[in-house]
Structure 1
């Protein structure tokens, strides 16, 4: 439910209706513009990553204590909690979650599987409706992200080393390791931590990655070195996204200037810098294309999430004065006004971007 007073609308878990925040006496989180609050999930400890299932029926949240909780976005209930001896012993954060792709004719035991990576170096396959861990990979590093190929046959991991490991999804065996060559004349791979990776939805072997070395690399997962690169973006979270329709890349940088940028995938050339929000901008940890019309991003410093009109590049909505930085954002991908999950501190805020009727 929502608690309403004469100053603002505060948000608590198990919301039953949608209400906008008041703009008066802003002493806590508040909404501006076209953002509409749907509900709030209290996860009891800090949220590190989140992911909607492909059908939008489940929202998986990775937490700082190494547990994964699965929620119903419609009822706000926690349906499942995933933890085992490994994660309890390591007690290190979940860094990424991906739902396994499956077809409708597969057996039920293969239809509710997610893959989670951990700062401990673990990569776990969970059958989340039963709570069983089906397989564990132990990488000797901090594993920071993972991505699934469009056909679901392969997945890759990135971490605190420059190497990107590619695995066969069926056998769970490593089939390639991508890393820079020894050449001093080429920048054909990363040289520091790699925080983000995203396969191109239209090309089964092609993906991009970004990290601390101020580069975004283009890869074919069958080759050892990168194909080409973009110089500039300083990626410190899941701040890479690909729009397969326009073939555009969105990057978010954790820095004071040029934080949000749009690039052409085919040429690797910059299309434009998204103008900053005067006096109210953030160093970005995450960004995504939001439906056909918008962009959403979030970060620290100002501790806010921001929705931007893709055509005008004007800000249309804010979720402001959050208790901590925004470390993760995901949307369910349904329609032009998708449901968005925004993670800050121990909360997930569920919002929609809806044009207000004047």
Structure 2
């Protein structure tokens, strides 16, 4: 995402410095079925967030290289993940992914950093089990659906795949040497997403306005979609319908749905008049919704999957929405007194704060 350090967003972004977009802060307003449940201040800008698989924790990666993990029910900080390397470099945490485990004491959090580090943290002991040093900025990552491998992308065209449990590189993908064939990325890559069912397949997106489709067993990408300008955690895959959701850092055609199999555009989600946003992040949210967030209007929006209408929106947040995640386990719903299948609890990083939201209907 363009908030990740030196990749200040835009059609012609700077490539040689780490800077955040300075944005005006309009008055915050909420419309529809959306409410802010809690706001937690951070000592540094938050760039990425993830719920743990069981919904009991919310992890937040900061621009100073620190990872904070909160209890989801109280949002009290219970773990602070940093070591000598991250403290010395003080470069941003760019992505977070929990690795599912049957035992909470074995919980692993994979983290990537703008310094080029990839760390596999043992959460409860606050120790890094493995550290990988890539010769580039690592900007995004994703865990395979069998919880065995982590794919990383970043400031080069190379795609690296690691064994989570050994920290060893097991595969590598990259485009052809010549520029005539578009079988990989030609610019910075800001998003990666493993397919939720097909364990060897993943997609990536970035500044070259393509989504690339990969099989990790092959060096080159299988095919690509041209169009989306990805500057953050702006890709997701719906396992039921095999649809790709993309978020682009632009005012027009910013949120789009694609068919995974054919690569054809299914729908461009209409924007809201006066609340158009340059999008960083998006997700399919439960069975009935999708969510996206971005800057310019500093907006987070929840959209009904069926009608494509906005069901809830907040604009004028104190900063751009760089990352959003929802509690897939739905455990936090009961903590906040909800049981409806349509209600979801969300975490969003907005400037120097993490915000917990709900799309519960207004009483």
Residue of structure 2 equivalent to 1:174 = 169
Q: CA deviation at 1:170?
A: 2.4
Q: Give the counterpart of 1:189 among 140, 159, 184.
A: 184
Q: Give the counterpart of 2:210 among 212, 215, 224.
A: 215
SS for the counterpart of 1:233 is coil
SS for the counterpart of 1:354 is coil
Aligned pairs for 1:50-129 (under 5 A) are 50-104=49-103, 109=105, 111-129=106-124
Residue of structure 1 equivalent to 2:350 = 344
TM-score between both structures, scaled by the size of structure 1: 0.89
Note if 1:148 corresponds to 2:169: no
Q: CA deviation at 1:38?
A: 1.6
SS for the counterpart of 1:156 is strand
Q: Structure 1: which 5+ residue stretches go unaligned?
A: 1-25
Q: 1:184 to 1:63 in 2, by over 3 A?
A: closer
User: Where does structure 1 differ by over 4 angstroms across 4 or more consecutive aligned residues?
Assistant: none
Q: 1:246 to 1:115 in 2, by over 3 A?
A: same
SS for the counterpart of 1:171 is coil
SS for the counterpart of 1:87 is helix
Aligned pairs for 1:1-358 (under 5 A) are 28-104=27-103, 109=105, 111-333=106-328, 334=330, 335-356=341-362
Alpha-carbon distance between aligned partners in 2 of 1:92 and 1:208, rounded to the nearest angstrom: 26
Q: Structure 2: which 5+ residue stretches go unaligned?
A: 1-24, 331-340
Give the stretch that moved more between structures: 85-94 or 179-188. 179-188
TM-score between both structures, scaled by the size of structure 2: 0.87
Alpha-carbon distance between aligned partners in 2 of 1:199 and 1:93, rounded to the nearest angstrom: 23
SS for the counterpart of 1:316 is strand
Q: CA deviation at 1:88?
A: 0.7
Q: CA deviation at 1:183?
A: 4.5
